[in-house]
Amino acid sequence: MRTTPVVGPPLWTAAQLQADPSWIHTLDATQRAECLAALEHTRVRRLTIEEIEPHQFPLPTLGPVLDGIIDQIEGGRGVTLLRGVPIEGLSMPDIERLFWGLASHMGYPEPQDASGKRLHHVRAAHVFADEASATAAFLGGTLRGYQTNVELDFHGDGSDALFFLCVQDAMSGGLSRVVSVGQAFNTLLATDPELAMVLQQDFHFDARGELGPERPFQTAPVLTDHAGRLNILYKRGYIELAQRLDGVAPLTPLQRRALDALDAALNDPNHVHTFRMQPGDIQIASNHAVLHARTTYEEWPEPERKRHMLRIWSTLRRNRRPLPPAYRTTREFAASHARRLALGDPG
């Protein structure tokens, strides 16, 4: 149980992130040209996307910048924005290759679902008029939030880091929101330490069919202190959805109070930085130290202008934190744990 506040770079407020734009790196003309040259390099060699490794995607000046971002994601603020990636005029297969090549310099792309796909297209396959109709769809199947246009509450994805490339932004809404987990935890610790302890005990999460029919839910603490670092696994909606599953005990009043208090701390306007991603932006965020969210959005009427993101979950190439034992069989972190074993990380 962690009973002391989080300190250091992972702790930041909305005002601090707004005032210090150093977390945003805008590619210069040389770096944009390097991206296109590296893309052509993979074309000439007829590499498939999953064959692309850093040495096959040479970035003489941008490569060191990307390597430095690893230390910003693990041990730094936990969030970075690459701006100006040259996707304009490219075909979708080339945009995918460019995105994969850039991400490969920082991490190893991991499976995001039971099918093993390592690059996802994030767009609204299901558009809902309101949250109530979306909730009914979630209850009736294995629909996941990223497949809709509704607001997504603060949550983490899988592996060490999330990579989001904006291909097309929405007509309105669809704003990105990020928050420091440490800031929220410190708030809880200061206002109600008992609730901070409750969140470090087990909760049940709906696995949305990703762990097979024999494992409809998974169990892990929301907050876990391991090897001196605070970790989070949080999807409030999936905790609520698990309540309908056989074998899941009802949430206690104290657990609900703890979840409500965490949500309040995460959504404190002083903690949340909100920004609009534009085409050619790549958001990179730690899944251990930062949670992200998205506002609801309205699509453009033209099909070709509908909001479209590409997503990669990645295990960092270096500077990896040890994963808590409870994460080793979760759908979010099992692949990253296996990667650590293969790379010879300490247990």
Which sequence spans correspond to the domains of the chain?
A: 20-343
Could you give the CA distance from residue 280 to residue 309 in angstroms, rounded to a whole number?
10
Helix, strand, coil shares, percent, the chain, to 5: 35, 25, 40
For the entire predicted model, the pTM comes to 0.92
Question: Which mean pLDDT values do the consecutive 10-residue runs of the chain (347 residues) have?
Answer: 96 96 97 98 96 97 98 98 98 98 98 94 69 56 62 95 97 95 98 98 95 94 97 97 96 98 98 97 98 92 91 98 96 97 91
Distance, in Å, from the CA atom of 245 to the CA atom of 151, rounded to the nearest integer, reads 24
Collect all residues with Cβ–Cβ distance below 8 Å to 259 and sequence separation of at least 6: 199, 222, 236, 239, 251
Residues 6+ apart with CB under 8 A from 105: 54, 57, 59, 63, 66, 67, 317
* Per-residue model confidence (pLDDT) at position 220: 98
At residue 316, what are phi and psi to the nearest 5 degrees?
A: -60, 145
Three-state DSSP class for residue 49: helix
| Superfamily, domain 20-343 | Clavaminate synthase-like (3.60.130.10)
Residue 347: count other Cβ atoms within 10 Å of its Cβ.
8
Q: At what angle do helices 29-44 and 62-73 cross, to 10 degrees?
A: 100
